[in-house]
């Protein structure tokens, strides 16, 4: 492929699990991609190494205190160094054919939205942006002619089998869930589980926050909200089905009874490769699916009592307004406190529930409102933390 046909790509959150898998694929297909900008929050060494290895134009570190170190590491390499929120936004706006949005949490909202406003193609891993500002984001996508390609494996699966021209014929989206490391456990047995146990996901290797979200099943709840914003279906048409093998990544049921699914080994490089190559396809170094070896696939209903977070997220979707943003912010505070050993596992759901009950805010009309809601919910959740402290 000639240089003129190389896809220009930027990665927001290049040092994370999704960011690194994206770079792994680019590394195997160097002739197809030109890396434009790479960003990270605090891992300067990894960011500089990737920027040099991939001859990026620009490397941005979120934490401004680390700019000197980044500049020093990039001296003489030809890679520009920058830091801070404005620089993150500039990185997202650098002309590119595709922007991988892989920052974790609401922190990814501003840069992702900046890329959307450039009308480019966004490979969206950062689900929290759609949870806290889904309506605003999708409006901007429409207005700016941007394309959102879902990287989250469930949504990527649905995207591959969803007939957008016949969306009225869709009866149901069925989001599959592995159930996480605590599948089958009763609620009262979960009080003492540790962060190390919670991040040890049976099927997927992911960042710490999403791993805890998978253990509480908040991840599936966030994904129900994400699905609502990505696909033209009613809120009550999105179901969750526990499927511990994570082979069927999700399904779409049509009115004639046909159920279409996408299957594959649980490796994020498949949905990432789909997004990078779209509308074509490319090779991904993933284990090919051997159904004969797997033997059987199993399914069960989720346990909404043990995994209260899943129920709370669904309630937040139906409540609408500020509820999803409050849910997301409280969850981010709670997960950080759990990972820091300050609160127990079941306190995550309890803290989110109490924050939702106490933060009564109007539906966001603007991005500024979203950040007000996010900030207020974080303050509320933080102020409630001492009551939960271990
Ligand atoms: P991670 O924690 O491994 O990486 C997060 C990245 O975001 C890092 O590069 C970090 O430097 C950057 N970052 C963190 N806080 C930031 C801030 N305040 N400002 C700027 N940058 C910041 O996370 P991950 O597992 O790669 O997940 C990234 C996103 O993708 C999340 O929204 C997650 O829900 C979603 N996702 C991940 C997976 C997976 O397999 N890891 C699957 C589906 C969806
Ligand atoms: Mg997922």
pLDDT of residue 2: 59
Residue with CA closest to ligand 1 atom 19: 41
pLDDT of residue 389: 77
pLDDT at residue 1, rounded to an integer: 54
3-state secondary structure of 321: coil
Residue having the nearest C-alpha atom to atom 23 of ligand 1 = 207
Classify 344 as helix, strand or coil: coil
Ligand 1 nearest-atom number relative to CA 103? 7
Write the pLDDT tens digit of every residue in 276-315: 999 999 999 999 999 999 999 999 999 999 999 999 999 9
In the predicted model, residues of the chain with pLDDT beneath 70 are: 1-4
Q: Ligand 1: does its nearest atom lie under 6 Å from the Cβ of 271?
A: no
Residue of 49, 82, 104 to test ligand 1 pocket, by largest number of atoms within 8 Å of CB: 104
SS (H, E, C) 28-70: HCHHHEEEEEEEECCCHHHHHHHHHHCCCCEEEECCHHHHHHH
pLDDT of 201: 87
Please tell me whether the overall predicted TM-score, pTM, comes out greater than 0.95 for this model: yes
What local confidence, expressed as pLDDT, does residue 204 receive? 84
383: Cβ–Cβ under 8 A, 6 or more apart, which residues? none
Closest CA to 226 of 305, 327, 144, 303: 327
Query: What is the atom index within ligand 1 of the atom nearest the CA of 19?
Result: 26
Alpha carbons 374 and 252: distance in angstroms, whole number: 32
Instruction: Write down the pLDDT at residue 202.
Output: 87
* Residue labelled with tokens 């998978």: 214
Computed on alpha carbons and rounded to an integer, the radius of gyration of the chain in Å comes to 20
Residue 317's alpha-carbon distances to 167, 288, 326, 380, in angstroms, are 20, 36, 11, 20
The structural domains of the chain, ordered by start, are: 3-151 (3.40.50.720), 152-267+295-312 (no CATH), 320-390 (1.10.1740.10)
Q: Phi/psi class of residue 78: alpha, beta or left (left: φ > 0; alpha: ψ in -120 to 50)?
A: left
Between CA 222 and CA 348 the distance in angstroms is 14
Ligand nearest the Cα atom of residue 223: 2
């Amino acid at each position: 492929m000639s240089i003129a046909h190389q896809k220009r790509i930027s990665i927001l959150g290049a040092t994370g699990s999704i960011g690194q898998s994206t770079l792994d694929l680019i590394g195997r297909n160097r002739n197809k991609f030109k890396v434009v900008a790479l960003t990270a929050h605090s891992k300067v060494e990894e960011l500089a190494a990737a920027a040099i290895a991939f001859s990026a134009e620009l490397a941005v570190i979120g934490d401004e205190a680390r700019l000197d170190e980044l500049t020093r590491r990039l001296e003489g390499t030809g890679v520009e160094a920058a830091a801070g929120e404005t620089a993150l936004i500039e990185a997202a706006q650098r002309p590119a054919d595709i922007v991988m949005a892989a920052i974790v949490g609401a922190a990814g909202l501003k840069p992702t939205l900046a890329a959307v406003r450039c009308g480019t193609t966004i490979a969206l891993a950062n689900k929290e942006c759609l949870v806290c500002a889904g309506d605003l984001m999708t409006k901007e996508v429409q207005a700016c002619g941007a394309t959102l390609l879902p990287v989250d494996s469930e949504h990527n699966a649905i995207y591959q089998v969803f007939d957008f021209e016949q969306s009225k014929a869709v009866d149901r989206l069925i989001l599959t869930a592995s159930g996480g490391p605590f599948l089958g456990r009763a609620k009262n047995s979960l009080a003492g589980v540790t962060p190390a146990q919670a991040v040890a996901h049976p099927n997927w290797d992911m960042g710490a926050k999403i791993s805890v979200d998978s253990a509480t099943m908040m991840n599936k709840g966030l994904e129900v909200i994400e699905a609502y914003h990505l696909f033209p279906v009613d809120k009550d048409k999105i179901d969750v089905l526990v499927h511990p093998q994570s082979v069927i990544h999700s399904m779409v049921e049509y009115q004639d009874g046909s159920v279409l699914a996408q299957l594959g080994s649980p490796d994020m490089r498949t949905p990432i490769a789909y997004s990078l190559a779209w509308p074509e396809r490319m090779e991904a170094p993933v284990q090919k699916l051997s159904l004969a070896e797997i033997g059987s696939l199993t399914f069960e209903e989720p346990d909404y009592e043990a995994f209260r977070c899943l129920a709370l997220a669904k309630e937040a979707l139906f409540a609408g307004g500020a509820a999803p943003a409050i849910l997301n912010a409280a969850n981010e505070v709670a997960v950080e406190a759990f990972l820091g050993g300050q609160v127990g596992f079941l306190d995550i759901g309890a803290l989110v529930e109490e924050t939702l009950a106490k933060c009564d805010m109007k539906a966001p009309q603007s991005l500024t409102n979203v950040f007000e809601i996010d900030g207020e919910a974080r303050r509320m959740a933080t102020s409630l933390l001492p009551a939960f402290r271990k």
